[in-house]
Amino acid sequence: MDKAEISESTVVDSNNNNLAPNHTSTTVTETVDMVDTTPTNNGPFGLNPEQCMQLIDPKSTDVLKSLGGIEGVIAALHTDPTKGLSTANRPLTTVVSDDEKENQAHNVDTSSSSVTIEDRVQYFGRNALPPRKPKSIFQLMWMALHDKILILLLIAAVVSIGLGFYEDYGVEHKKEDVYNEDFTISDKEQPKISWVEGIAILVAVMIVVLVGSINDFQKEAQFRKLNAKKEDREVKVLRNGETVLLSVFDVVVGDILHLEPGDVISADGIFLGGHNLKCDESAMTGESDAVKKVSFEEYKKLEEAEAALHKDEPTALTTEPHGLHGVDPFIISGSKVLEGVGLYVVTGVGPNSFHGKTMMSLRTEADETPLQSKLNGLAEQIAKLGGLAALLMLVILFIRYFVGFATNGKPPANEIFNRVVGIFIAAITVVVVAVPEGLPLAVTLALAFATTRMLKDNNLVRVLAACETMGNATTVCSDKTGTLTQNRMTIVSGTLGINTRFIADVPEGDLNQRANIPINKHAVAISQLVGNLPPAVTTLMHEAIAINSSAFESEDENGKLSFIGSKTEVAMLDFSKKIGGADYRKLREAVPVTHMYPFSSERKSMATIVQMGPKKFRLHAKGASEIIMKRCNKIIQISSAADQSTPLSEKDRNAEITELDLNSDLETQIHKTIISYATQSLRTIGVAYRDFESWPPAGIELNQDGEVPFSAVAESGLTLVGIVGIEDPLRDGVPEAVLACQRAGVFVRMVTGDNILTAKAIATQCGIYTQGGIIMEGPKFRALSEEEMDAVIPRLQVLARSSPDDKKILVGRLKAMGEIVAVTGDGTNDGPALKMSDVGFSMGIAGTEVAKEASSIILMDDNFSSIVKAILWGRSVNDAVKKFLQFQLTVNVTAVVLTLVTAAISDKQEPVMSAVQLLWVNLIMDTLAALALATDPPTPDLLDRQPEPRTAPLISFTMWKMILGQSILQLVVTFVLKYKGMDILGYYDLPSDLAARPDADLIRTPYITFKEQELNTMVFNTFVFLQIFNEINSRRLDNRLNVFSGILKNTYFMVIFVIMVVFQIIIVEFGDVAFKTEKLDAVQWIICVILGLLSLPVGVLIRLVPDEIFGVLRKWVDASEPPRASLPTFEGHPAQDGIDRTNSLTTSVNSRTNSRTNSMSSTNKVRSDLTVFKSIRGGRLSIDSERSERNLNTGAVTPSLVAVSIGTGILPNAKNSSQVDVSGSSRRSSRAATPQPSDLPVNTQREPTST
């Protein structure tokens, strides 16, 4: 594109680089008739949402032409391509019809102030999908009532009510004596209460359903908040002539949006202008190739040229020109920006956009998490056992009842029917108690609370399964910039030319407090630099920084100006401002940008070409210092006095920039400068330029896009301006966080694009790089074979100068070795590695939208310490579910056995606990216990153990020990109390006051009957208190004795504990006929509570029993569990946490690889079981699947460092540090054990020393 074309097609944005086309400079002369040209009233705009959608779906330049081209669209939307929308709140005054659009195209009135933002939202909609209508409490209750077992119970209850009324009022009863409390005969009739039990069952079922539905409602509300948060993000928008950051939800039709590499496009629109913009639309259109975006004017030129090329072909005017395939001016929402920059005008938002329509039609059910799958499989097995127990009880009770006819005679038909219904109710209630429908939902409850609280810890969970997985992560591959460091970059040192050095302004006497600033008596303070440099050099630096940048200045909430953009570019703009540079906006406006090569992680640099004069084009380049230096063959020469504190002479001040050829001596000096900065943890950036007489340069072959290849103009022939050292301080708490990870058995690796010395310095400060570890560069690592990688990876602690491909390769090998891998990433190209990892962390501040879409968790503060919190929460979720499981299985075992045995032994075929009592127990063990145990906050001691492998069983040996021990205790206590309680408590003997009465013999039978009812109440009461206190006991999963640790921090637990105690008191004291309870006196209450409290001391005794006593069982459990992950241990070097571990990393890796393979068939079986389980019950089990959808979905080291090829590995040894060479014939054939330093051949070159 020549200068004339550029000046016609672009205008300068006040904040950015000449991106917006000058639509007022041309007139649209060509229009194409639409199929339907009937004038319509489009209200305040010249376009309606349907017409805007027709532009994009399908892409139609004919529609765009019929609307008057881009100028017609701009006018119809009342926007300004150079200033964006105005936020002035003025009344709506314009109404446009289709007939006026042609006039608008010729008389463009782009005033956006006549239409308010609110008008646009009202007419075109908001840029957000309408939320699914949340289910009300009543809808959730109705879904819960679809539980097939509850339906059976309700039917039986209704039948029981009918029989009860019939028995009370339809049948003649023999008059029986009614006794008062003092056992005197009352003159009252026997109360007619046969129907009460059925009513009580109905009420109890409704309470269970109501409490469960409230729980589900609160859980869904938390997930809705989480979904809204994770869908929100900020985009760059042009408003009032200034670039501002807005929530994506606040984007409206008519806005002018910026496009940068890594953006996920948030709204449909039409491209206005930019540089080399390419988009990935494969997810939207299925087109696998990148689509280049051009302005409508440029598209028309290409179309005309292509038509002229094929003018002799008969089909040339009826088909799309072949040469325009993969080129268009349309921006599709949901697509991703691969490279380039640009601006576009928004034409469709929310449901009226391409992506919005697609998402509205694809709203699907959420997938299960792995823990939910495991729990559903376990619940299926428990359900089968419970159903078998209920069936067994049903058979036994029927046999006993009907066999009794032979001895007792056949009772009336209504009594038989009533008894049969009672037996059915008892059996169905056993199924209700035995089938743990709360078990699969417990993990969802734990995740709901965990993800909500994780957000407060700056972890935004996008994929629920990641929360569980993170708890068992074995390795973390972390970026450096912004994750381990503060991403608060400042230029603190630098060298211009050969030896013009400068340092940051530090108060005198305070230099030693700035360890990263090299002390040099010949260095000048930045504030004094302008007086020691020729103006030509200062101007060159200003231009190089301001023009070759996409950062901009904006006001924050407090009205304070600050730079926004890449932190490196922000640091450089701030440096330009400190040395007296002109306003960056004026520089950008004064110099037209001809072409731009945005930064990419592959080339680790960026470049911008500007026109300096009639025959002078200058390429400004910046990037990694050693990369830039390699591309230079010259360096600027700066005239200055020997003592840089002396002002420049007039001659030197007026001197022009001169260039020197780079010879070996100068290269060595520059390398030493880079090493000096890098060893002080400074990031080094090189600045260079190159001049051309024309653009495109003569003799340069254009690529397939018709553009000058970057490699042809920016990878050689540059002139070095200088090297700057950027300080990015380590984040507070990072060393402690790294140590916490290592203590938790999580291996932390740094994977960075920085050079090897900067990476080493930062990694050492963090505690990542330790004695016995390896540092290697990306290109060298990439060149290794899989065997060589497997030999190096166990000790690989830092991968420097790595590309996104290197990160992906590392993640792939780690997963192949059986590791559970967490990865951090912020760039577009990090997407594959983030997707491949088990848990991908993207950066909420510095991360691109593509990286965020590919990640599982977003670090809202970009802080490594937040990863440690994610590990804590992941382990807390897993523990919460296991605590609930440990508690519920105990209740399942005891409730089912107690009910089955007591019913089978009873003369009346009735269990010791009634159906209503069992429903109360079911409420305790399902919803209330899940809420109490699933909400324990994480404690630091969770990091004191090793991560669990993927195939570790849900129930550990220690848990089984507690479940069986507590079950035995509860069964012994309840059976002894039931069958020996009358004797132990002396209830067969009349008290002295009754024994002295003359009718003592007559009242003995009713007295004993009453005491039996009291005893049954005591059994029920004791059973419930055993569960209540065992809930405290279940708070620990290990053998530690303090079960009260942190209990007061869990408000939910304390409140639910009190609720259960209070309601149990109410049920016992006032339940009466409904709950079949009798009031207890103080002594009886004390007995029940003391028996319930036995759970705690017995729990202590169980924990004190050494696991080794159960040798055979222990061996069986150990054989079923794969080895746990461990920190790598090196010969002579203990693991970081000081714990001596004898198993090598490679051994545990191989074991986990086998366990990963073996787990596949069991996972499929669990999913099969789940289908059966849901089909059996339904109800609340199907509610969880109704949730709203989840969005489910750096180069080479400096040549002076090494005399051999790029990318060596550094081993820090006590005396001499060698570089690893794992290539060549000296590779070992066996990799069974962790490689020791002696396993790998090393060369004789020593680690370079800093200068």
Q: By the 8 A CB rule, do 1161 and 629 touch?
A: no
Task: Give the list of residues 6+ apart from residue 770 with CB closer than 8 angstroms, or none.
Answer: 797, 1133, 1136, 1212
Q: Which of 687, 637, 633 is nearest to 497 (CA)?
A: 637
Longest dimension (CA), the chain: 134
Give the containing element (helix H, strand E) for 799: strand 796-800
Specify which residues 689 forms β-bridges with. 620, 719
Q: CB count, 10 Å around CB of 610?
A: 24
Sign of CA dihedral 846, 849, 851, 856: positive
Cα 317 from chain centroid (whole Å):
51
Whole-number Å distance between alpha carbons of 514 and 159: 84
Q: By the 8 A CB rule, do 130 and 351 touch?
A: yes
Specify which residues 330 forms β-bridges with. 270
Torsion of CA 1152, 1158, 1161, 1162, to 10 degrees: -70
Whole-number Å distance between alpha carbons of 991 and 987: 9
Q: By the 8 A CB rule, do 1201 and 756 touch?
A: yes
Name the active-site residue from 98, 268, 479, 574. Answer: 479
Q: By the 8 A CB rule, do 269 and 347 touch?
A: yes
Whole-number Å distance between alpha carbons of 306 and 323: 6
Half-sphere exposure of 156 (CA within 13 A, CB side): 24
Dihedrals φ, ψ of 503, to 5°? -135, 165
Whole-number Å distance between alpha carbons of 1124 and 65: 66
Give the containing element (helix H, strand E) for 1070: helix 1051-1070
Specify which residues 247 forms β-bridges with. 234
How many residues are listed for the chain in this entry? 1251
Dihedrals φ, ψ of 946, to 5°? -85, 155
Active site residue 479: yes
Q: Is 1123 left (phi over 0), alpha (psi -120 to 50) or beta?
A: beta
Q: By the 8 A CB rule, do 761 and 755 touch?
A: no
Strands 839-843 vs 857-859: parallel, antiparallel or unpaired: parallel
Residue type, 242: E
Q: Which of 329, 341, 335 is nearest to 267 (CA)?
A: 335
Task: Give the list of residues 6+ apart from residue 1060 with CB closer than 8 angstroms, or none.
Answer: 924, 928, 1024, 1028
Dihedrals φ, ψ of 737, to 5°? -65, -40
Q: By the 8 A CB rule, do 766 and 730 touch?
A: yes
Dihedrals φ, ψ of 1086, to 5°? -65, -40
Which two tokens mark 83?
């200033």
First CA to last CA distance, the chain: 47
With 0-12 / 13-18 / 19 or more C-beta atoms within 10 angstroms meaning exposed / middle / buried, residue 307 is: middle
Dihedrals φ, ψ of 568, to 5°? -65, -45
Residue type, 969: L
Whole-number Å distance between alpha carbons of 439 and 385: 15
Which DSSP letter does residue 892 get?
H
Q: By the 8 A CB rule, do 875 and 942 touch?
A: yes
Strands 718-727 vs 632-637: parallel, antiparallel or unpaired: parallel
Instruction: Report, as residue numbers or ranges, the catalytic residues.
Output: 479
